[in-house]
């Protein structure tokens, strides 16, 4: 795991977007795993700008989202399909037939989960998986006690997750109680993971995820086992990290980050 600390949220989002853009330019057929949430909106804004002003080409790539609420129609403004259309897909030249999210209205949810896993495999696996982190430490909707070998499945949402998402639905009682999510094992099979978090409210859980013991109570700690995981945070989200000075030195001195330093 490698931790990169940037001065503020905009600089962190810009770095994440530039990492994605570099991977996409190197491999136009990139299979990109995507995440949702307020934090990700800033990344998608930068990618849209790169497409419009710099010609960043999404036409040959494929995408798989981490999760979707059970019971929401694709057109529901709270669905993650709607979110992705609004924040990214409608603004770049991606082929919509190559964008994939679980169907939360499938008549057989278990079959839908198996089908989603099969689709990822058919596309050769995920090359780069973008991740956020919830206050409970979950990646995707892999709530506490999610097995590290888990696959795409239906999960009941934890009380803290319901509380965190309440503002989007007008109250915790209106948040769907279940979601389809990629499993921790599915995520760990991605060739590269890129976790992005900003803000002081994420500082405690980022420290646990990055520097704490590996535990199924915090599914993000499984990323410590990944061979190529980059965590990008702003100073606020990094405020509880014990190794912050070392992490800052990585970005300042390591050759692989030189091209990104030159764009600051």
200-231 pLDDT tens trace: 999 999 999 999 999 999 999 999 999 999 99
pLDDT reading at 264 higher than 80:
no
CB neighbours (10 Å) of residue 172? 15
Which pLDDT band, with edges at 50, 70 and 90, does 67 fall under?
very high
The predicted-structure confidence for 81-130, as pLDDT tens digits, reads as follows 999 999 999 999 999 999 999 999 999 999 999 999 999 999 999 999 99
Q: Is the pLDDT of residue 58 over 90?
A: yes
> What is residue 172's predicted lDDT score, i.e. its pLDDT?
87
Mean residue pLDDT across the chain = 96
Region 40-50: mean pLDDT is 98
Phi and psi for 7 in degrees, rounded to 5? -60, -35
Under a CB-based contact definition with an 8 Å cutoff, are residues 133 and 139 in contact? Answer: yes
26 burial (CB, 10 Å; 0-12 / 13-18 / 19+) is: exposed
8 Å CB contact between 161 and 136: yes
Q: Residue 110 and residue 105: Cα distance in Å, rounded? A: 12
Return the H-helix or E-strand segment holding 139: none
Average pLDDT over residues 236-256: 96
Which two three-digit tokens encode residue 152?
């795409």
In the predicted model, what is the mean pLDDT of residues 23-36?
A: 98
Q: Which fold has domain 2-261?
A: Rossmann fold (3.40.50)
Looking at residue 220, what is its pLDDT? 98
């Amino acid at each position: 795991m490698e931790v990169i600390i940037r001065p503020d949220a905009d600089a962190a989002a810009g770095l994440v977007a530039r990492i994605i853009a570099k991977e996409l330019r190197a491999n136009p057929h990139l299979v990109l795993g995507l995440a949702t949430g307020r934090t990700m909106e800033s990344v998608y804004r930068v990618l849209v700008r790169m497409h419009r002003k710099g010609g960043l080409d999404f036409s040959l790539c494929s995408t798989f989202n981490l999760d979707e609420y059970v019971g929401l129609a694709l057109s529901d403004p709270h669905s993650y399909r709607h979110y992705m259309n609004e924040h990214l897909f409608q603004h770049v030249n991606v082929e919509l037939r190559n964008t994939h999210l679980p169907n939360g209205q499938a008549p057989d949810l278990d079959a839908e989960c198996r089908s989603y896993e099969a689709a990822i495999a058919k596309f050769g696996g995920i090359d780069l998986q973008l991740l956020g982190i919830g206050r409970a430490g979950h990646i995707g909707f892999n709530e506490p006690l999610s097995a590290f070998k888990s696959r795409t499945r239906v999960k009941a949402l934890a009380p803290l997750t319901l509380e965190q998402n309440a503002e989007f639905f007008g109250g915790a009682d209106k948040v769907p109680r279940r979601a389809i999510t990629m499993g921790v094992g599915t995520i760990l099979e991605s060739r590269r993971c890129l976790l992005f978090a900003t803000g002081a409210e994420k500082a405690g859980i980022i420290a646990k995820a990055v520097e704490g013991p590996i535990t199924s109570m915090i599914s993000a700690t499984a990323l410590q086992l990944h061979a190529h995981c980059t965590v990008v945070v702003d100073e606020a989200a990094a405020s509880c990290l014990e190794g912050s000075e070392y992490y800052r030195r990585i970005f300042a001195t390591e050759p692989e980050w030189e091209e990104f330093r030159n764009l600051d």
